Structure 1
Amino acid sequence: MSRTIGLLTDFGLDDPYVGQMKGVLAIHAPESYVIDVSHGVSPFCIAQGAFFLAAAMNHFPENTIFITVVDPGVGSGRKIIGAEFNERIVIAPDNGILELAESQFTGTMIVTDLSETAGKMSSSSTFHGRDLFAPLAAEIASGTSLENLGPKFPLRNLVRKGIQKPVWKNDEVKVIVLHKDRFGNLILNIPDKQIMPERMCISREKCNVCCVKRVSCYTELEDMSIGLLAGSQGFYELALKRGSASEMLGVEPEDTLILKWSGQCEKG
């Protein structure tokens, strides 16, 4: 039996970590097709990892197994879980990284606790991606069902960080930056189906940018002004014409911003 396996980590490509995971998969699931989702998640950045996972899932085959290793709690008592999104399966630490994928899923996510099975495997305390996650994925890819690897895990007990829920008030919304792409665009945790005002301002400590305009494409951005538009990944993003919104605002993934649409905004 062969299944596609998607790898998503914060390992980067300078170290041998990704190659070692692929080596384990080549040994134990040689017929599987392994695809790199990304290894460029900022170290320990769960919100960005959650965004990458949610953005990628529907663009992979229905029987894909995703190994998602953004795991600052590696070696601790945090659980290892397997989440079913119909035929797609995500193996991940229980640290909130499934939140965005679950919020976009139209069905009911089913979660299995793989911690006991993983605990029987030989493992280092610092590299569960190679020693636990990859072997578990290979076993599933080879035909083992999740129900044979552990008990069901109640959804109410999952770790949640609230990254899928902007905080709305009458005239503003507090958002989390999920991702900064290589152009400096800032992807926010506002789904692109949400109706947003034509003009807003951005409020942040030491930063107040007036009149953010909602646009439909990058060419509508005004010189030296930040615009809000629905991006290609299912969320709104802030962009600067031929420049970096991230640098202009001094904002990185997991930072918070407030978008306001009433009152006067003063440039700062």
Structure 2
Amino acid sequence: MPGIVTITTDFGDIYPGIMKGVIASVSSHIRTVDITNSIPQGDISQGAFILQYASASFPKGTVHLAVVDPGVGSGRRALVILGEKYWFVGPDNGLLLPAARAQGQFRAYEITDLKFFEKSVSPVFHGRDVFAPAAAMVAAGDSVPGLEEIFDPVDLDFGVPVLEEDGIHGQVIFVDPFGNVITNIGGTALGGLLFLGDTVEINGTAATYVTTYHDGGAGDLLLLTGSHGMVEIAINGDRASEYTGLGRGDEVVISVRERQSDGR
């Protein structure tokens, strides 16, 4: 039976609905699920992070359709990626690679004939004329014509945190709707260096290393591992992004100020 197609775009409203119409025209049995259509316009990095984070919550065989495509109409390639659990469909600009790589091994294919579904392909709406029909065909169990395997898809990563004498240096990769500041520092790495309750410094400002948002008092600056597995900075009852002034791409330095005095 036809499966699920998720949609992640920077399109806002209107255009995702049109893409869903194309998907339904391929098979009315395909279920579509919006992950988000509110990625900041052209922000490939944020789209890649959200796709990587959200895609893993879906059943095996789900097709993840993602379009954040400032290079639409240029020479950038159109991709279908087959992974160990999921398929990914979208532009070859790095948007798909973090999510594809996170699930294990994958194989990438270029859609060599963009007119496989529509004979008149808009140079500015590949989401409708190329990616939506390709995703629907995969979800319906059909073959996308003209796929050719490639071995050099455009990659994207979120940087590598570095341990230095003054602490762990990382960077902000996302600010969520609650104002929580998500970094590229893995929670497991930080958990090996800190004890719960430790007082740390985040760019020179004191914070407490905790498990949940409510482990500190109202207004306290907190450091914890979020549901995505990455270290994030939060404030109990407030927006850490506004308090710290941190935004995507900013450097974050985390260092220990004071250990818990419990004999450890």
Interval containing the TM-score (normalised by the shorter chain): 0.7 to 0.9
Counterpart of 1:48 in 2: which secondary structure? helix
One-letter identity of the residue aligned with 1:261? S
Deviation (angstroms), 1:202: 2.8
State how far apart, in whole Å, the 1-side matches of 2:126 and 2:228 are. 29
Match of 1:89 in 2: 87
How far off its partner does 1:134 sit? 0.3
Q: Displacement of 1:95 after TM fit?
A: 1.5
Cα displacement string for residues 69-116 of structure 1 (whole angstroms, at most 9, x for unaligned residues): 1111111111111112224101021212234324432x31211112x1
Q: 1:129 to 1:95 in 2, by over 3 A?
A: same
Q: CA 1:53 to 1:242, structure 2 compared with 1: closer, same or farther past 3 Å? A: same
Instruction: Provide TM-score, normalisation by structure 2.
Output: 0.85
1:117 maps to which residue?
A: 113
Alignment-derived partner of residue 262 in structure 2: none
2:129 paired residue among 113, 118, 131:
131
* 2:251 counterpart (254, 257, 261): 257
Q: 1:153 to 1:167 in 2, by over 3 A?
A: farther
Residue 23 (structure 1) aligned with residue 18 (structure 2): no
Q: CA deviation at 1:162?
A: 2.8
Give the AA of the match of 1:8: T
Structure 2: give runs of 5+ residues left out of the alignment: 259-264
Query: 1:206 corresponds to which residue?
Result: none
Match of 2:6 in 1: 6
Specify the code of the residue in structure 2 equivalent to 1:247: E
Q: Tell me if structure 2 keeps the 8 A contact 1:185–1:239.
A: yes
Residues 171-207 of structure 1: CA deviation (Å, up to 9, x unaligned): 433333232222111122223222343443333xxxx
Is the 1:103–1:164 Cα contact (8 Å) retained in structure 2? no
User: What is the number of equivalent residue pairs in this alignment?
Assistant: 251
Unpaired runs of at least 5, structure 1 = 204-208
Do the aligned residues in 2 keep the contact of 1:99 with 1:163 (CA within 8 Å)? no
The one-letter amino acid of 1:202's match is I
* Cα drift, residue 161 of structure 1: 3.3
Normalising by structure 1, we get a TM-score of 0.84
**Sequence identity percentage:** 32
2:98–2:156 contact (8 Å) kept in structure 1: no
> Which residue of structure 2 lines up, in the alignment, with residue 194 of structure 1?
189
Deviation at 1:60, TM superposition (A): 0.9
